[in-house]
Chains A and B, each alone.
Chain A
Amino acid sequence: MRITRFLPALVAGALFALPAAATELKIGLQDDADILDPAQSQTFVGRIVYTALCDKLVDVSPDLQIVPQLATEWHWSDDGKELSMKLREGVKFHDGTPFNAEAVVYDITRSMTLPESKRKSELKSVEKVEATGEYEVKFTLKGPDVTLLASLSDRAGMMISPTAAKEMGLDFGNKPVCSGPFKFVERVQQSRIVLEKFQDYWNKDNIFIDKLTYMPIPDTTVRLANLRAGDLDMIERLAASDAAAVKSDPGLSYESVVGTGWLGIYFNVGDSAQADNPLGKDKRLRQAFSLAIDREAANQIVYEGTSVAGNQPFSPQSPWYDKDIPVPARDIEKAKALVKEAGFDRVPVELIVTNNPVSMQMMQVVQSMVAEAGFDVSLKATEFTTLLDEMEAGNYQVGRSDWSGRADPDGNIHQFLTCKAALNQSKYCNPEVDKLLNEARQAPDTAVRKQKYDAAAAILQDDLPMTYIGHQSWIWALNKKVSGFVASPDGMIRLAGVKKAD
């Protein structure tokens, strides 16, 4: 009885309490993120969520330059072994903890020392980090490392509230507290991650979204259907096969940009039992294999023109691309001659590939192209975890795998092709290449650095432990109501300036 009388008042109160026009943005992701602790997490979609949740010391601009974020300026010492940074003043973490030099020292040290931290290799060159003032920090390095800034533009440079980190320890990821434009509200595994606008954000005047929801929807068709139904405002990694449909839909807009990653074919050139195969032992056969691929056609067929053909770890548009080694045109006669020269008529090859339709299609195309040059490729399709295990163990002949790409060139080549590097699944080891790639890491002068990469490219193009087919584009589809989104080659979704009309 009382309740019925009270109810209208309650409803009226609730209506008044609602903010005038809360703008909610819903983003469909391809996978669910893993743990939301920058020190521990590993997934690509996790990085997308962090872009809204956790600010970094520096950021990457759409033209892949390092730009200020929480650090406003920085400079290197002459010997390249010290990096000093000035920090932004007046910044707060979501829990009210002030951001200052002390917080930076705590966070970097945490990423370097936490046993579970997966950031150790990115911060390997750091000897120590210290506060040189309330808003000044100094990184002292073991040796020159120009890639450090790029690392600090990603998870290694993400700042989390030291108060929350100390309190929650390893469970920090269940309720992350950072200083980004949005703060954590809730997460239901495999369903949604909800964030809301952080009212004390240093750049809050450029944030026009009040509530942000990320929903993992692995199936691209379903993701697009949700966008069309209005249940999502934006989706990432649209399938290339849906590009035309989105472009012709008056209610949707299409954004794409060639990414920094690559589509690669690995040849096992190590010394495991499986590496003992014709392709693993004779570089002429690898060259023939590469020459037999029509990269333009393969990209056109599989990615419907959204990707670009390539032959290096950097795309042809990248300033790091070696223009003296252009994407080779298909040369079946030369490929045949190389096969003959190596003493073969037909070459049997087993090629391991993940069992997703796009990867499979690409390899079927390659399979039929190289068959003309004399390669009998048998495809072995397996799910990703198994592929990873086999390739890591060197238990394969030829493998197909992608790299999502990094802003700094080093991240796209060093860890794949230096001896014993973490991602060196070709098991390639050439001291000369090691030397060049290590020197490139330490060269503060861009021109010198480029020379090192070019010199390495020349050797690698001949040895060919890996060959590249092309570079995929990141593709987003958005509801027409959403404006201000800038496509970035790192595949991230930055929300400053993004608006949604009612």
Chain B
Amino acid sequence: MYSYIAKRLLVAIPTLLIISVFVFSLQKLLPGDPVLAMAGEERDPQVIEYLREKYRLNDPVPIQYAHWLGSALQGDLGISLRTNLPVLTLVGQKLPVTIQLAIMSMIFAFAIGIPMGILAAVKKNTALDYIANVVALSGLSIPNFWLGIMLILLVSVNLGWLPASGYRPFFEDPLNSIKTMLMPAFVLGNALAATLMRHTRSAMLSVLSADYIRTARAKGLSERKVVLEHSFRNAVLPIVTLSALLFGELLAGAVLTEQIFTIPGFGKLIVDAVFTRDYAVVQGVVLCTAIGFILMNLIADVLYVVLNPRMRANL
């Protein structure tokens, strides 16, 4: 098992390298000059030139990359041109926020998606199934930004139940932190729930038609036991994979949702960085996101083995 994990982590290294080269070159293809973008309204050519030299923007791109990689390997992801803060500090500020939002969104997604998926499968082709499908489909089709703004207008402006913004860090003020995250987490979770529901439904349907389920029923087991213990445990594998992918996506930051609820997570950081051509920040955030994604997939694969004893033989 451990050697399996180690092997997987080793394979991740070239993946990360390729991603970093790719992102670095894509950024350089963008027109626009970070120093000019930052220089703002009073542009002084002398200072612009000084800053270009200082941040090595006059070097050829491969040399810039080599320099970035050299520092990154020593744990230094560079400095944000816009704020003068180390990229690692920025990532340290945003990562916990993004993780909190991702976890809360997944809770919503699971709480809505999985029970609905199971119900839809068990009550296949009944009114309940159709309702679940309609709900899922609307979850997928309603744009996040629209749902977000509507929720703010309803819940914050009209009802005054939850704050529309003003995120507080979880460890500083847990109650308010959760309060400010409820709406954004619901908006994100709601969209993911739709995907989860569809997958849960089809996985459950294929398991429910298996022979051993008929046997279980024939033995006289309660329907509850048949569905939750015999069927769901076997249907859960594809859901684990999907969840890991969804969670990985959440770690990349949810740009629009963060923007609307003023959540200071990865999404806002990377978008601002792209617009101001703050290369080091883009590079650093993408790297962290990629690591997160790879880790989530690894965790999913390990969970697979834990959940399905048959897989252990293959390791």
Contacts and interface: CB of A to CB of B under 8 A. Distances in A.
Contacts of A226: 152, 156, 164-165, 262
B42 interface: yes
Contacts of A171: 84
B205 interface: no
Contacts of B42: 42, 118-119, 121-122, 415, 422
Contacts of B164: 222, 225-226, 229, 231
A222 B260 contact: yes
Contacts of B260: 219, 222
Contact of A115 (B31, B50, B84, B269): B50
Interface string B87-122: 000100110000000000000000000000000000
B124 to A, nearest CB: 41
Given A189-B83, A219-B260, A221-B149, A230 B160 contact: yes
B43 interface: yes
Nearest to A155: B42
A225 B149 contact: yes
A377 to B, nearest CB: 22
B39 A219 contact: no
Given A34-B83, A189-B85, A217-B165, A422 B44 contact: yes
A327 to B, nearest CB: 25
A37 B85 CA distance: 13
Contacts of A218: 259
Contacts of A174: 84-85
B36 A423 contact: no
B163 interface: yes
Interface stretch (B271-279, B293-301, B303-311): B271-279
* Residue of A26, A219, A230, A385 contacting most chain B CB atoms (<10 Å): A385
Contact of B41 (A32, A216, A404): A404
Interface in A195-231: 215-219, 221-222, 225-226, 228-231
A384 to B, nearest CB: 7
Interface string B201-225: 0000000000000000000000000
Given A35-B84, A118-B47, A215-B165, A384 B275 contact: yes
A43 B40 contact: yes
B82 A34 contact: yes
A491 B157 CA distance: 27
Interface in B46-102: 46-47, 50-51, 54, 82-85, 90, 93-94
A125 interface: no
Given A118-B44, A231-B156, A188 B93 contact: yes
A189 B33 contact: no
A181 B160 CA distance: 32
Interface stretch (A97-105, A269-277, A317-325, A386-394): A386-394
A118 B84 contact: no
Nearest to A170: B84
A173 interface: yes
Interface string B131-172: 000000000000000000100110011001001111100000
Interface string A176-205: 000000000000111110000000000000
Given A189-B85, A230-B160, A120 B46 contact: yes
B273 to A, nearest CB: 10
A445 interface: no
Contacts of B264: 188-191
B41 A42 contact: yes
Contacts of A34: 38, 40, 82-83
A330 B262 CA distance: 44
A386 B275 CA distance: 9
Given A34-B82, A116-B51, A188-B264, A121 B40 contact: no
Given A35-B82, A116-B51, A171-B84, A191 B167 contact: yes
B259 A222 contact: yes
B44 A32 contact: no
Q: For chain B, which range describes its interface: under 10, 10 to 19, 20 to 34, or 35 or more residues?
A: 35 or more
A217 B187 CA distance: 18
Given A215-B166, A385-B276, A389-B36, A189 B152 contact: no
A222 B150 CA distance: 10
Given A118-B47, A403-B41, A229 B272 contact: no
A438 interface: no
A189 B259 CA distance: 13
Interface in A103-128: 115-122
A229 B50 contact: no
A35 B30 CA distance: 24
B199 interface: no
A392 B32 CA distance: 10
Given A42-B40, A229-B157, A189 B90 contact: yes
A44 B32 CA distance: 20
A383 interface: yes
A229 B275 contact: no
B45 interface: yes
Nearest to A120: B44
B275 A383 contact: yes
B272 A32 contact: yes
A418 interface: no
A261 B213 CA distance: 74
Contacts of A225: 149, 152-153, 156-157, 164
A44 B41 CA distance: 9
Contacts of A260: none
23 contacts: A42-B39, A115-B50, A171-B84, A189-B90, A190-B269, A190-B272, A218-B259, A222-B164, A222-B259, A222-B262, A229-B164, A231-B156, A231-B164, A231-B165, A383-B275, A384-B37, A384-B275, A385-B36, A385-B277, A388-B36, A389-B32, A392-B36, A423-B43
Given A118-B42, A422-B44, 16 more contacts: A34-B83, A35-B82, A118-B44, A122-B42, A189-B90, A190-B264, A190-B269, A215-B262, A222-B262, A226-B165, A226-B262, A229-B164, A231-B165, A385-B275, A388-B36, A390-B31
Q: What 7 A-B pairs are tightest by C-beta distance, nearest first?
A: A42-B40, A191-B264, A229-B156, A385-B32, A385-B37, A229-B164, A422-B43
